[in-house]
Amino acid sequence: MRIGFVSTRFHGTDGVSLEASKWAKVLEKELGHECFWFAGKLDTPENSSSLCPEAFFEHPSVISLQEKLFSDLNTCSNDLTDSVNVLETEIYNSLENFIREYSINLIIPQNVLAIPMHVPMGLAVTNMASKGLPMIAHHHDFYWERERFLKGCAQHYLDSSFPPKLTEKFQHVVINSQAKESLMQRLGLESTVIPNVFDFENPPSNSDNYGDDFCDQFKIESDEIFVLQPTRIVPRKGIELSIELCSKIQKLTKKKICLVVSHLAGDEGMEYYYQLVDLSDRLGVKVIWAGERIGESRGLNSSGEKLYKLWDVYPHADFVTYPSLYEGFGNALLETFYFSKPVLVNRYPVFKDDIEPCGFKVVSMDGEVTNEVVSETMALILDKDLARQWTQLNYDLCMEKFSYKVLKDSLGNILNELMI
């Protein structure tokens, strides 16, 4: 089949773009289909992609509409409704051209029918689905999980399209069991759980030495314990817990610790970042805020400094911290298992429901850095054999539960059912 992926963007390393690329890889290489791309921002192959700038959620016209739809207004003005309709029609026409140009048999909307970052886009895709074109809607997170979408005058749009109550030639896919239950309770819609996955069939390669100088570049000494926090700097990532853990281990072991935070601040303002800087200074923890030099691609920045990808950094870590308060699934946790690193996990809801029951060996915590958490972490850092036992078990479990084979089997079953 010729399968079209549709979203506001397929660009960079956000969770939706990453999972969509994994789906496409499995659909093409394992199941023999062809994949094509439609979005407002793209870094996908040019000869199989269709760019519609107005489909990007940061397009100026979209930002203006969204602000009005989710403001304190209780009713939409006629002008606002007209603007939504005009943009919906424009995107629908572009989507129709995409389907015609590439002879698309099946559409996979990626989160565009779940989170209303772009209301006219969701309406356009729903309109297309109502015409009978088969779709597998991949929902990563729903609007009712985000406080900012619970006000304003857009509720009638949300009710119709986020997600639509369609079942004919339409399959809903969610990434965790909580979302499945939520979708059934709220809308009475059946869905299939397909967790985020990783290419565990192909372990990390040791042949590339590009990142060998990372520690030298950041002046991380060989006798320092390298702890990696592979997340953005936003409050729900719980980075203060990582700093507290490092402080306690430092005091007990008298060893120096370096906490490397891989991503930038700014997505949700800078206040949280400044709080973390203050905390690390007060507790005497060395933190490297490496987001300026870890990103989507290698190369040099404008100052001539070397840029790294996150995968260049994982091999150097002695330990990984993942103290998130909430995650839709947990891509960084799967990456940690992939690179066979021992890890601390704050038991966020999806971890408790969908990951922990599989039997993974991690240092787990419930929002508090207890003495037990500290001693377990120290044991894994100091005892490399113990760490290897835990990480090998985790890798083997991921092969069984979160590999490309799992995705291949799940997608194959859905396609067989959908295309009967």
CATH number at residue 395: 3.40.50.2000
SS3 43: coil
**Range of 27's domain?**
2-197+404-418
Question: Do the domain assignments include residue 231?
Answer: yes
For residues 178-184, give the mean pLDDT.
96
**Residue 365 φ/ψ region, left for φ over 0, alpha for ψ in the -120 to 50 degree band, beta for the rest:** beta
Beta strands, E only, 241-298: 257-261, 286-289, 294-295
Model confidence band, residue 211 (pLDDT cutoffs 50, 70, 90): very high
Q: Which of 104-113, 173-182, 206-215 has the lowest mean pLDDT?
A: 206-215
Does residue 255 share a domain with residue 144? Answer: no
| 202 inside domain | no
| pTM, full prediction | 0.91
Question: In this structure, is residue 265 part of a structural domain?
Answer: yes
E runs forming strands in 283-361: 286-289, 294-295, 299-300, 306-309, 319-322, 343-346
Q: Tell me, yes or no, whether 205 lies in a domain.
A: no
Tell whether 26 and 169 lie within a shared domain.
yes
Q: With CA atoms as reference, report the closest residue to 194 among 214, 215, 174, 164.
A: 174
Residues 384 and 302 in one domain: yes
Q: Using CA atoms, how far apart are residues 127 and 132, in angstroms rounded to an integer?
A: 10
Q: Is the peptide bond before 163 cis (omega within 30 degrees of 0)?
A: yes
Three-state secondary structure string covering 130-187: HCCCCEEEEECCCHHHCHHHCCCCCHHHHHHHCCCCCCCCEEEEECCHHHHHHHHHHH
Across the chain, mean pLDDT equals 95
Tell me how far apart the alpha carbons of residues 137 and 175 are, in angstroms, rounded to a whole number: 11
Beta-carbon contacts of 253 under 8 Å, excluding residues fewer than 6 positions away, are: 378, 382
Q: Which of 10-14, 29-33, 218-222 has the lowest mean pLDDT?
A: 10-14
Q: Distance between CA atoms of 209 and 395, rounded to whole angstroms?
A: 23
Determine, yes or no, domain membership for 325. yes
Mean pLDDT of 98-112: 98
Are 308 and 390 found together in one domain? yes
The confidence score (pLDDT) of residue 295 equals: 87
CA 150 – CA 144 distance, rounded (Å): 7
Percent of the chain scoring above 90 in pLDDT:
90
251 and 395 co-located in one domain: yes
Q: What is the C-alpha separation between 67 and 70, in angstroms, rounded? A: 6
CB under 8 Å, gap of 24 or more: what pairs does 91-97 form? 91/52, 91/54, 91/55, 91/120, 91/121, 91/124, 92/124, 92/127, 92/128, 94/38, 94/50, 94/52, 94/54, 94/55, 95/6, 95/38, 95/52, 95/124, 95/125, 95/128, 96/128, 97/50
105 and 44, same structural domain?
yes
Shared-domain flag, residues 177 and 304 = no
| 123 and 241 co-located in one domain | no
Q: Report CA dihedral (381, 382, 384, 390) to the nearest 10 degrees.
A: -50
What's the residue count for the chain? 420
Residue 323 included in any domain: yes
Is 36:50 a contact under the CB 8 Å cutoff? yes
Mode of pairing for the β-strands spanning 306-309 and 299-300: antiparallel
Residue 268 pLDDT greater than 90, yes or no: no
Query: Cβ(161)–Cβ(140) under 8 Å?
Result: no
Task: Indicate whether 288 and 140 sit together in one domain.
Answer: no
- Tell whether 150 and 191 lie within a shared domain: yes
| Amino acid letter, 326 | Y
Provide the pLDDT confidence category of residue 134 given band limits of 50, 70 and 90: very high
Asked if residue 204 belongs to a domain, the reply is no
Same domain, 337 and 319: yes
Q: Give the alpha-carbon dihedral of 142, 147, 151, 156, to 10 degrees.
A: 10
Number of structural domains (the chain) is: 2
β-bridge mates for residue 106, sequence order: 3
Question: Which residue type does 340 have?
Answer: S
pLDDT at 14: 82
Round to whole Å and give the CA distance between 250 and 258: 10
Tell me the per-residue pLDDT of 38-70, one tens digit each, with 9 for 90 and over: 999 999 999 999 999 999 999 999 999 999 999
The answer to whether position 185 is within a domain reads yes
Rounded CA separation 101/120 (Å): 22
Give yes or no: residues 84 and 185 share one domain.
Answer: yes
Please give the pLDDT value at position 302.
87
Closest CA to 135 of 172, 164, 160: 172
CA distance 321 to 309: 18
- For residue 267, pLDDT beyond 80: no
